Structure 1
Amino acid sequence: EEIDDADLPGTVHRVTYRSQSPTGGDVAVSGLVAVPDAPPPPGGHPVLAWAHGTTGVGDDCAPSRLGVRALPLLEQHLEAGYVVAATDYEGLGTPGIHPYLVAESEGRSVLDAVRAARELFGSDVAGSRFVVVGHSQGGHAALATAQHASGWAPELELVGTAALAPVTDLENIIPAMFESTLGLALGIYVAAGWPAAHPELDPSDLLTPAGMELLDDAREACVFEMESLLAGEDLDSLRVRPPAELPAWAARIDHNTIKAARVEGPVLIAQGGQDAIVPRPFVDVTVGQLCVAGRSVRYLSHAVADHSTIVGASMPAVHRWFERLLAGDGTRDDCPQR
């Protein structure tokens, strides 16, 4: 389905494509694909895969339902010559619940969106070389894509991965989710979504009966509505214990934490100094792990950017970094000398 927007230097299409859940079943995933008006170079346009931040776990929270508004800086991406593939992720806008922050699900959704763009518009339009950029939850998804790329989509060539304010240090972030109103909203998304990918998990291990009643709301309420529903609630009346204290949940936290040694290719991380949602110390942990694993890491810090504004603040540098990688040029490595 083409979305009409005459002001863009390209066309935008709402798509549905096939992927596979972590439990092995085929799933339908929705998203958007944008194609530049400019003629493709030999081998096709590079593909820019966009991985969005937290919206919720219900179908109404699927970004593609917003049309072009779901794609930040889309005009700049098209002018730079990218085909843009933007997944909604498994379970957002399609049957089933979204497995929020499940790395394998996110990575497959992103990679299969790139495949869908090539299948729909041809490999002469959308080439096999691609980059991925994601924000917040999408930063986790972008790095999950880099972790699964060669195993899941060996016909594609991942050139570089950019993660903006990424939710990656799950071993520290998920326990912290249960300590604030917004955090508990996200924690309830984890409780609602993880059993879809990991059937051995029971959300009642984490939530009181009153908290369990909120699971039905979580399956429909998008993130800001969910935060409003929890405003004024006594958090202790909703939570039982942090997931890290429960062996089955702790094992899956480890499973869905990005494994630096498995991340493929160069990585750019951008973080805002005013980010109160994913504070810099959490991101520093991920950067340190990537450096220890021998990855090439460009680490951008924007002192005045917060969790939302980091996207606009960092994207010009992200574009320049991608351009150098696609041209085969070297890039700066901010890891200490090894």
Structure 2
Amino acid sequence: TLPNTLAWRIIYTTQGPDGAAAVASGVVTIADSAKGTLPVISWANGTKGVTSQCALSMAANPYDDGPARARETMLADGWAIVATDYIGLGTAGPHPYLIPAAEANAVLDATLAARQLQDLGSHGVQLGDSSVVWGHSQGGHAALATAESALDYAPDLDILGVAAMAPATDLPNLAESVADTSAGNIISSYIAYSWNQLYPALGIEKRLTARSRMAVNQLSQNCFSGTGALTGLAQSSQLFEPIFTPAELDGQLHAVLLRNSSVMPVDYPVFIAQGAEDSLALSSTQREFFKRSCTSDVHAGYLEYAGLDHMPLVGTGSALNEDLVAYTRSLLDGIPDFPEDATLCKK
């Protein structure tokens, strides 16, 4: 656990992408000094992998992902953090990687399940109805999806707003833009491995070249953290062709990537934070997503952070930490306060 905190691993039921019952795991964290009714940060973590051993809750340091300074500030302020592993990480798979409905269900059901954790009562704590959804990368994709479905799926929760950090929004563009990079090959391998199981009609495995098929089988077994990430990047750098050919990205796969892309929620305030030098979730893609999503019924803010790549955006030195804390506190006060430099889209 983090210093001065208490944490529990939970196992809970949720729904998969087809609506069938599934089991997921996660982590609940509070400050050891917390008392009373706590608002909740519903944390959607970034890409960790697509096999069961890659669960955040089973990692040596489950808190190495995301805006650590902001998270520690919120815990000290008397918030709880509920982090899902998603389906298939820490539990039986397959993991529905970048499939929004399943991600959203996992986030919402983790928050609901955490309220039933009996140990909280022995510490003089209960989790309240109020929740703010945070997510980075895959988790940003999940956070936007969570806000899109929350009113229908979990009406007992009072979602106050969303912070999506470098979210994977436009999946066709993402798949195309990272096709020739080492990290992109890993992401593409995760998509291929997961979606081959979840969308058998696509016949993804049969469409891959022999070399790409071998790479998917190898890369998908690495977790995208710690030594697993280093191993994966080293292996990926030896692949001299993309996992998905341009023809595949223009075919049936394109339609499914498009279908699983993000939609801007209209029911809650949304803060999208983006590193200006992000080499994975490109800032040009995010600006276009925000621009086309900025309609009269959207209340959102968008801010790029100069000089920051994908992971440094949520790093210790990033100004995002202070902005995220201020924005989240403002949601609890009922008056969303976006960073001063943010581009606003206000209904």
On whether the aligned pair clears a TM of 0.5, the verdict is yes
Q: Give the 3-state SS of the residue equivalent to 1:222 in structure 2.
A: coil
Greater shift in the superposed pair: 152-161 or 219-228: 219-228
**What is residue 233 of structure 2 aligned with on the other side?**
227
Q: What is the CA deviation profile of residues 63-102 of structure 1, one whole-angstrom value per residue up to 9, with x for unaligned ones?
A: 1122443463443221021110011111112111222111
**What is residue 100 of structure 1 aligned with on the other side?**
97
For the Cα contact (< 8 Å) 1:110–1:145, is it kept in 2?
Answer: yes
**What is residue 330 of structure 2 aligned with on the other side?**
324
**What is residue 188 of structure 2 aligned with on the other side?**
187
For the Cα contact (< 8 Å) 1:103–1:144, is it kept in 2?
Answer: yes
**What is residue 309 of structure 2 aligned with on the other side?**
306
**What is residue 59 of structure 1 aligned with on the other side?**
52
1:6-45 equivalences in 2 (<5 Å): 7-8=3-4, 10-41=5-36, 44-45=37-38
For the Cα contact (< 8 Å) 2:178–2:280, is it kept in 1?
Answer: no
Instruction: State the AA in 2 paired with 1:161.
Output: V
State the 1:244 CA deviation: 3.3
1:1-338 equivalences in 2 (<5 Å): 7-8=3-4, 10-41=5-36, 44-66=37-59, 67-70=61-64, 72-73=68-69, 74-121=71-118, 125-204=126-205, 206-223=207-224, 224=229, 225-235=231-241, 239-247=244-252, 249-260=253-264, 262-292=265-295, 294-312=297-315, 313=318, 314-332=320-338, 334-335=343-344
For the Cα contact (< 8 Å) 1:206–1:242, is it kept in 2?
Answer: no
Q: Quote the Cα distance in structure 1 between the aligned partners of 2:82 and 2:300.
A: 24
Q: What is the CA deviation profile of residues 257-278 of structure 1, one whole-angstrom value per residue up to 9, with x for unaligned ones?
A: 1122x44300001111222222
> Structure 1's 263 and 199: CA in aligned 2 closer, same or farther, altered over 3 A?
farther
Structure 1 alignment gaps of length 5 or more: none
Identity over aligned pairs, percent: 32
Q: Quote the Cα distance in structure 2 between the aligned partners of 1:47 and 1:196.
A: 33
Q: How many residues align?
A: 328
TM, length-normalised to structure 2:
0.87
State the 1:322 CA deviation: 1.2
State the 1:117 CA deviation: 1.0
Structure 2 alignment gaps of length 5 or more: none
State the 1:18 CA deviation: 1.0
> Structure 1's 184 and 55: CA in aligned 2 closer, same or farther, altered over 3 A?
same
Q: Give the 3-state SS of the residue equivalent to 2:343 in structure 1.
A: coil
State the 1:307 CA deviation: 1.1
> Structure 1's 243 and 31: CA in aligned 2 closer, same or farther, altered over 3 A?
farther
Greater shift in the superposed pair: 122-131 or 57-66: 122-131
State the 1:13 CA deviation: 0.9
For the Cα contact (< 8 Å) 1:178–1:242, is it kept in 2?
Answer: no
Instruction: State the AA in 1 paired with 2:63.
Output: R
